[in-house]
A and B are shown apart, each in its own frame.
Chain A
Amino acid sequence: MTEARLFRVSNRLKMLIHAGGGLTVRDAVARADKAVEASFPAALGSIDATLVELEASYGASAPADAPRDPRRLYLLSTQIIDVALCLQGSGIDDGARQLCDLADHCAEHGVWDREAIAVHIQALFLLRHTGLEMGADHRRRMLRGLRQVTAKCIAATAGSASATG
């Protein structure tokens, strides 16, 4: 077993934030909520551009011989999550996380399920444009459907792995 040293460190952050003055939590959060809204138009533009790239590269309308790049697919999905605050409540961040799961699986196992990926991308478009108006049940069903699509892909990979033994 390695030797471990335990020691206290001073917490300057604690001392600073309780130095007196400042904002109430209520005011700080209200100000911040308003401030981040200024970034929302650009964030929405970024999500739209990412969705277009996803569809063109990996969606149903992508050429059959388009390069398969799970790492890039993963990166594009995380780009959506990064700025999804502008669509809070739409479920698009959850949908993008599902696509991250699928991309991770593809990268790890050297597989590529074009249909599963296309379904996820289509779902992201739906969530972007109707997610906020969609009922919570409908959104949950959609996300559950995406999980099932990924689970099917994973099962297929496991099945072919055990067949080749």
Chain B
Amino acid sequence: MSEHRPLLSGDKLNLERVNFLLVDDNLQALDIIGQAVSAFGVRNIFKCQSAKEAKEIIKRTALDFALIDGEMPVENGYDLVRWIRREASEPNRFVPVVVVTGHTPLSRVMQGRDCGAHFTVAKPVTPKVLLERIFWVARDERNFVESDNYVGPDRRFKRLGPPAGIDGRRKDDARGQIGLASEPNLSQEEINSLMKPAKVAL
């Protein structure tokens, strides 16, 4: 994943042609977020109050971003995202999705991650946070993963590599031998001099 620089106030974003899907069973929440998105310059906003309504839009409109409430009655947002990742036709199958949720215990954040969303954001969402997330997702370069039990952006954010001496399983992981020292090891005397406590003059 590329290094993300923070969004700067002078940065310019053009959201006019973005097809933006908003899904929330709470009409007022939908209205508030819709006002913010419209003020950002988005002209094509598709507002839905249920997963069922959202699916109708998804089947007929190519989307560029989806903001989906996690907790909805009948069919929740997490199941909707899973449906998008498995059943929707391209390009909507890979549409950037941010899940929003009011209650954020770890279990729900992980639900958001594991359903195939790009990110989870806590409600209430401020315009500033929303715009930052749109920008963040736009720059997201993670691969997509498709397997029996998960479809979505690669959930592995950290690229720490395998433990030293062990070959990684990813084809672009460094070989285990590269984990060895690239400069001379310190002698014991050098180590001792680093460890020796010394008084500091204040």
Contacts and interface: CB of A to CB of B under 8 A. Distances in A.
Contacts of A5: 145-147
A35 B38 contact: yes
A25 interface: yes
Interface of B: 7-18, 24, 26, 28-29, 31-32, 35-41, 64-65, 71, 91, 94, 96, 102-105, 123-128, 130-131, 134-135, 137-141, 143-150, 154
25 contacts: A2-B148, A4-B145, A4-B146, A6-B145, A7-B146, A11-B140, A12-B91, A13-B64, A16-B15, A16-B64, A17-B134, A19-B17, A23-B40, A28-B131, A31-B40, A32-B131, A35-B39, A42-B28, A78-B102, A78-B103, A82-B24, A82-B26, A93-B102, A97-B102, A100-B103
Interface stretch (A83-91, A126-134, A140-148): A83-91
A22 B15 contact: yes
B41 A11 contact: no
B39 to A, nearest CB: 4
Q: Could you say which interface size class chain A belongs to?
A: 35 or more
A138 interface: no
Chain B, interface SS category: loop
Contact of B35 (A9, A26, A36): A36
Contacts of B15: 16-17, 22, 28
B65 A13 contact: yes
Contacts of B127: 28-29, 32-33, 36
B124 A81 contact: yes
B26 A11 contact: no
The 7 A-B pairs with the shortest beta carbon distances in the complex, nearest first, are A22-B14, A81-B102, A32-B127, A32-B39, A35-B39, A82-B29, A4-B147
Central interface residue in B28, B65, B137, by most chain A CB within 10 Å: B28
Interface of A: 2-14, 16-26, 28-29, 31-36, 38-39, 42-43, 46, 74, 77-79, 81-85, 88, 93, 96-97, 100-101, 104
Contact of B28 (A6, A28, A83): A83
Contacts of A85: 32, 124-126
A72 to B, nearest CB: 11
B167 to A, nearest CB: 16
Contacts of A18: 13-14, 138
A45 to B, nearest CB: 9
Contacts of B32: 36, 39, 43, 83, 85
